[in-house]
Amino acid sequence: MKRILRISPVFLLLMLFLTGCVKKEFEDYYARPDNLAPPIYQQLEARGNFKSILTCIDKANYKRTLSNAGYWTFFAPNDAAFQAYFTEKGIGNANDIDSLTAKKIVTYALVYNAFRVDQLSSYQSSTGVIPNQAFKRKTVFYDFVQTESGTSRKIVAANRNGSYVAGDNNNKNIPYFTDAYMSAKGLGASDYNFFFPGTIYSGLNVTDATIINADIAAENGIIHEVDKVVLPLPSIEQYLATNPDYSEFYALLNKRASYVSNADLTHRYYVLSGSADSVYVKLYNISLGFSPNNENYINAGTDAQTGGYTFIAPKNQELLKYTKGLLTKFGTFDAAPLEVLNDFINAHMFTAQVWPSRFTQSSNSQGETPTMSTANVVDAQFLSNGTFYGTNKVQEANVFRTVYSKPYLDPAYTLMIKALNAELKYSIINANVKYTMFMMSNASINAAHYDWSTQRNSWAYSSTAPYTTWDYTTNARDRLYRILQTSVSAPTVDLTSLSGKGIIETYNGEYLRYSHDTVYASGNLDAGNFLVKDSSKTVFNGTVYYMHEYVPATKLSTGGLLTFTENQIGYHLNLLSTKDPNNFGHYYNYLKNSTIYTAAAFSITGTVAGNFYTVFVPNNAAIVQAVKDGLLPGNTTTGVPNFTPTLATDKEKVVRFITYHILNKTALATDGVKNGAFATLLANSNTDPTYISVINLVDNMQLRDAYNNSATVVLSKSNNLSNRTVIHSINKVLKYIY
């Protein structure tokens, strides 16, 4: 034990010596290199021309942050920049800047991560760095609890479109404009100066400031010296809220906002301020293109580096004038369906960055291009979450300027809109395609015994008096949709007047006939009524007609629809043969006695309900000549037809004659639209269809058969409407394959 005690002091001295050597080696190895630049704060001190920003850093309590380890980019305004700021604000020096403003200046100039100038345009995507795609970076600055203008309510902005996620402070982004980015995007100085007309574009601009000394290395990041003090840019919502020129639009926008109390934010606010006020998250409805108070971009990741939102807002006078006309039938947005307000706001929202040079090629949240140009822009702002254009014109949504708008903006047509929304909306709101539309009022739809059942969430139809038994199946829906599609023309058909006579194809391939401000479909003919024009409206992509039904037999006028026939093709051929026997008599007599006709049902074998057909009926004189030519059974000397042949070969001639004169699955009218070779019901010996060639001009249709013989449609006896079928009189029998 004594020996151990004698050794211990020596051992301890040795250990202390060795430990000291190891510590010195450790400190030498990990010591701060002599050539390492000072931290940002000390670097600014050493340079001598950043006294004012240093004062702001001290006031903002960011000296420690900028003096210690970190990884920052700092856009530092020099003293000359502050001198201009003092003059603008009417203050003496940085000591006169309050601590809150000082914090705004410092934190908005401070960007997460260190970036040299040549790195600023690089997009930090989830899949790696993509060069020349970025023009913004996330800053340290964020708004916490704000008092909403005009109220005492304490709010925090949404940090997602339509929602709020805890832990995300909704930090603002700072935009900058480098040659690398602008050139890669095909943009130029004019795009920059549209927003910052008082600043020279240098290719190294940060908002309206210029980087005059770049890439100053610091231990904890990079400093870029700028020539102007930059305060946090407002968000789109903040700019709208504080600019009285857009108060009317902001009021409309707030109709789609809601406030959700948040216990965590309320507690945090209490801890920081001592206030017991409840804190609410201000959310904008998810039906809007984006939330204008959201500082994050689409994916709430780094994509804000590459894009931002764009908002167009008409000034108050223009907005009020436009909406007064828009809401003629409703009075106010509150009285209109909610979708009307949504559509109005969304027309002005663009979910991508809209640059001035690309203005007219951009698309809003509804996929529509601007209905104005930059000549209509009276106020252009680059904001923290996007761009803002104040205008002297309203952006017109297609739903408000196309044929769709007339029923959409009139409460008397809500049933028509419900049907259009399910079937045709996205076709007829295309402003680049013309349409003609005949209005279907609620009263007319109900008078035809159709309605919408809110209990069953389906269309209903009653077919027989006293109309108390309703069909809620898809049959009711299909019937109404057929009427609807008959009430809208085929694309590109804009019938600007009903004063003459003519025929037009409808959206579903059927046809309407018009004459001297009256119009009718196949069902109207069967019912003995037609629609009479009351008025018409010209809109951007066509013409809309308001009609009423007229029943000649009773002289009654009521609301009416363009209805379809319930009868078969043979029914109408029979009617035509009775009404005009010289042109349709012989053909129908052959048909009714043929082996492919069922007289009781008026049905022709080979035709299928729901398909389209064209029937070319040779007139009696043409058939007489065909009998003489031996094409049809009868007396070849006199041409008298034999409608009831007994020979199998003669019966086959009749079948071939009938089927060759019927186009299969195609309805043609003399509107000059459809031309070409069309298959008939007649098949050849190989069971392949035979064809007729049609040269279709307006009011002039020529036919050519398999032997290149021609026939002409007799216009005055043609365009007769049947069930998805058009029946024409022609002056010659078409020669068919035997």
pLDDT (tens digit per residue) in 389-401:
999 999 999 999 9
Q: Is the confidence at residue 173, as pLDDT, over 70?
A: yes
What is the residue-wise DSSP string for 124-135? EETTEEETT---
- For 728, the enclosing helix (H) or strand (E) is strand 725-730
Q: Is the confidence at residue 642, as pLDDT, over 90?
A: yes
Give me the pLDDT at residue 23, please: 53
Answer yes or no: are the C-beta atoms of 171 and 385 closer than 8 Å. Answer: no
Give me the pLDDT at residue 35, please: 57
Answer yes or no: are the C-beta atoms of 489 and 438 closer than 8 Å. Answer: no
Q: Is the confidence at residue 215, as pLDDT, over 80?
A: yes
CA distance 303 to 14: 60
Give me the pLDDT at residue 551, please: 78
* CA distances in angstroms from 226 to 23, 53, 207, 385, 722, listed in the order given: 44, 11, 10, 22, 79
The mean pLDDT value for 233-258 works out to 98
Q: Is the confidence at residue 407, as pLDDT, over 60?
A: yes
Give me the pLDDT at residue 552, please: 78
Check whether domain 251-399 has CATH 2.30.180, yes or no: yes
pLDDT band at 377 (very low <50, low <70, confident <90, very high): very high
Tell me the pLDDT of the chain averaged across its residues.
94
Ordered by start, the domain boundaries in the chain are 40-142+173-184+202-231, 251-399, 411-558, 569-730
Give the distance between the most distant pair of CA atoms in the chain. 155
Q: Is the confidence at residue 1, as pLDDT, over 50?
A: no
- Judged by DSSP in three states, 712 sits in strand
Give me the pLDDT at residue 36, please: 76
Quick check: do 251-399 and 569-730 share a fold? yes
What CATH fold (topology level) applies to the domain 569-730? FAS1 domain (2.30.180)
Q: How much of the chain is in helix, strand and coil states, percent to nearest 5?
A: 35, 25, 40
- Tell me the per-residue pLDDT of 549-579, one tens digit each, with 9 for 90 and over: 887 766 555 568 999 999 999 999 999 999 9
CATH assignment of 411-558, given 2.70.50.30, 2.30.180.10, 3.40.50.300, 3.40.50.11900? 2.30.180.10
Give me the pLDDT at residue 558, please: 52
pLDDT band at 150 (very low <50, low <70, confident <90, very high): confident
- Tell me the per-residue pLDDT of 665-687, one tens digit each, with 9 for 90 and over: 999 999 999 999 999 999 988 88
- Tell me the per-residue pLDDT of 305-324, one tens digit each, with 9 for 90 and over: 999 999 999 999 999 999 99
- Tell me the per-residue pLDDT of 582-636, one tens digit each, with 9 for 90 and over: 999 999 999 999 999 999 999 999 999 899 999 999 999 999 999 999 999 999 9
The 8-class DSSP code of residue 251 comes to H
Share of the chain above pLDDT 90, in %: 92
- Judged by DSSP in three states, 383 sits in strand
Which single residue is written with the structure tokens 């078409």?
734
Give me the pLDDT at residue 2, please: 43
CA distance 272 to 620: 99
Give me the pLDDT at residue 31, please: 46
Ranges of beta strands (E only) in 116-231 are 123-125, 128-130, 136-138, 146-147, 154-157, 173-178, 204-206, 209-218, 221-226
Q: Is the confidence at residue 406, as pLDDT, over 90?
A: yes
- Judged by DSSP in three states, 633 sits in coil
CA distance 573 to 579: 10
What CATH fold (topology level) applies to the domain 40-142+173-184+202-231? FAS1 domain (2.30.180)
Give me the pLDDT at residue 686, please: 85
The 8-class DSSP code of residue 139 comes to B
Q: Is the confidence at residue 10, as pLDDT, over 70?
A: no
CA distance 682 to 678: 11
Q: Is the confidence at residue 32, as pLDDT, over 90?
A: no
